Structure 1
């Protein structure tokens, strides 16, 4: 099911028309309850703790309609990787909730419990991925290979590219809002209804805070760039905590001279948020290993070693043709070396000068022969 394109709802519905199963799926953040819709399988209603104000309601309306302005490929990414808002729930004109698709079954797995028991299927969160292989095996999840970690990271970055291209500020990249598929490399983001367009209010999440912004600041796409870099690093390494520490470990394992570690370091150390690399730059560096590129102007944990960057699916550039060397005629044979080694002359002598001593020797021999002939014969 496509999570936006297959919506059976109008963009606004009255709360009285929403029939619920009564099954409480969760709460937290700005929501007081998330429940399944009785007559619409795979769709859920999220109810807010307090009604949204007029400005927040207007932003939510824009989010509901935004995929209309996207390309088919961008909508496809949203349809398979996000719980995108499809309808605003109102009560006497006030916005009291939103309708979104439930995450597909591939993002739920049973976990090991004490006594050899298994839990009911639960969300497989980034919180689980950012751990070492021993932890994952202990909870009954097969640890992803290095290649799968890179593919999962690419999935999140692909979504980040689409959001940034449309100036959508998510801001809530965190351990619990990002899901990954146990059997593949698909990803899924929750709570997309809280996004802003251009800006969004401050949101605090432990270990996911922009270090250059004072608390309470308005968030922009530059904050998402930092959080996307942080998410990428943690997906690749399985390590939490201070990003520069785990980045150092990544740099030791990553191919020398590759651009990705440099881009990540720039994201974590830039004091000017506008200098942080875009999601598209990180994605390109991960898919196409090589030297770091200039900043673009347009739109296994501690147990993970020996990374092999993901290659582009479109193939690689063919190697340059070998340089053809034009054949040269053979050089003339060198003159015979003299019997007694001589130091090299300062300049190249002409052939006439080299024959002069020989001619004098021949002349003297001829005179001697003539003299002896005249005397004895």
Structure 2
């Protein structure tokens, strides 16, 4: 099968026979076969999303082969080649940030008759693993950004350093910086959620995974409970405006430590002193009535860095904040019933018994006198 050409005007230096200019420690061709990568270790993940398996490369520690379901086609090969070469179009600072903060694909894996067996990606750095303590047990694992959407007390309770607002802000800055780079490349990620980013409490950084699924301009909008964009109708594609909503939702939850509608209300009530524009940008991302008036990831990134919010349109109309969940009523035990003292009912024969007793006494006294 003829290998698909690279798209969007990429030149020959990005071809399969030329090593990629990749600062991550391994210059490999941008198209490789499975035999080039062998041997592969046992999978560390299976049947997760579009991947049937993710296997470490035995001879290249820190690198993984992500193997796809066997239903990919030439269009998928074109898309993956675009992603692999996309960092070459970025300014150096953005390219460095993208490589440091994501598992950006380094090569497409192909075989005869199958142009997209999978891709080669870096493993997340060890700084994103921490010891999580649960009762008497502990486990060293990757820390999902999910933990930032909880209170400092909950985070401290599993043995992680308390982030405080400064730690939350730093992580959200890194996350939004990556989102802005993706948007500048015209790519839609869509899968902004708790499970697709790791968090390093010590480094105050984040690491985005599953970026090999990005697509240009739009992609199928996979339903994610609690992450549904109210202005993206069911059955339509996700686009950059969907990304902006989900990014805003993720940042709001991580910045406030709230997981539900409390995040919206906390954002609306807060005016962070060094980031005065953050609340306005987030509210325009989350409750604007016109999805195309949602501010960009770059505007949110600028606000998180302490910069101004320079709207390109008049302030969008907004919907009302979502209602807060009802406060659960405390379970108050029912009062103990007051014991009642039962008065015994009078015996109807009591009077006759007394008369009889008195009569016996009288007869006894008379008999004694005689």
- In 1: Cα distance, 2:70 partner to 2:34 partner: 14
- In 2: Cα distance, 1:135 partner to 1:63 partner: 38
Taking only aligned residues, the RMSD between alpha carbons, in angstroms, comes to 2.2
Aligned to 1:65: 85
Structural mapping, 1:323-334, within 5 Å: none
Aligned to 1:124: 143
What 5-or-longer segments of structure 2 have no aligned partner? Answer: 1-19, 315-370
Corresponding residue pairs, total: 291
- Structure 1 residues 186 and 296, CA gap change in structure 2 (3 angstroms): farther
Give 1:252 deviation, angstroms. Answer: 2.5
- In 2: Cα distance, 1:109 partner to 1:255 partner: 30
Aligned to 1:225: 244
Does 1:22 pair with 2:41? yes
Does 1:151 pair with 2:170? yes
Q: 1:64–1:86: 8 Å Cα contact kept in structure 2?
A: yes
Q: 2:126 aligns with which of 105, 109, 118?
A: 105
Aligned to 1:181: 200
Give 1:231 deviation, angstroms. Answer: 1.4
Q: 2:300 aligns with which of 273, 282, 286?
A: 282
Does 1:80 pair with 2:100? yes
Secondary structure, counterpart of 2:138 in structure 1: coil
Question: What is the TM-score of this pair, normalised by structure 1?
Answer: 0.72
Q: 2:144–2:195: 8 Å Cα contact kept in structure 1?
A: yes
Q: More displaced, 256-265 or 196-205?
A: 256-265
Secondary structure, counterpart of 1:100 in structure 2: strand
Aligned to 1:262: 280
Q: 1:89–1:99: 8 Å Cα contact kept in structure 2?
A: yes
Give 1:270 deviation, angstroms. Answer: 2.0
Does 1:52 pair with 2:72? yes
Aligned to 1:237: 256
Q: 1:35 aligns with which of 55, 70, 74?
A: 55
- In 2: Cα distance, 1:97 partner to 1:280 partner: 31
- Structure 1 residues 128 and 3, CA gap change in structure 2 (3 angstroms): farther
Give 1:4 deviation, angstroms. Answer: 4.3
Q: 1:13–1:90: 8 Å Cα contact kept in structure 2?
A: yes
- In 1: Cα distance, 2:44 partner to 2:295 partner: 37
Question: What is the TM-score of this pair, normalised by structure 2?
Answer: 0.74
Aligned to 2:230: 211
What 5-or-longer segments of structure 1 have no aligned partner? Answer: 298-377
Q: 2:150–2:254: 8 Å Cα contact kept in structure 1?
A: no
Secondary structure, counterpart of 2:195 in structure 1: coil
Give 1:69 deviation, angstroms. Answer: 1.1
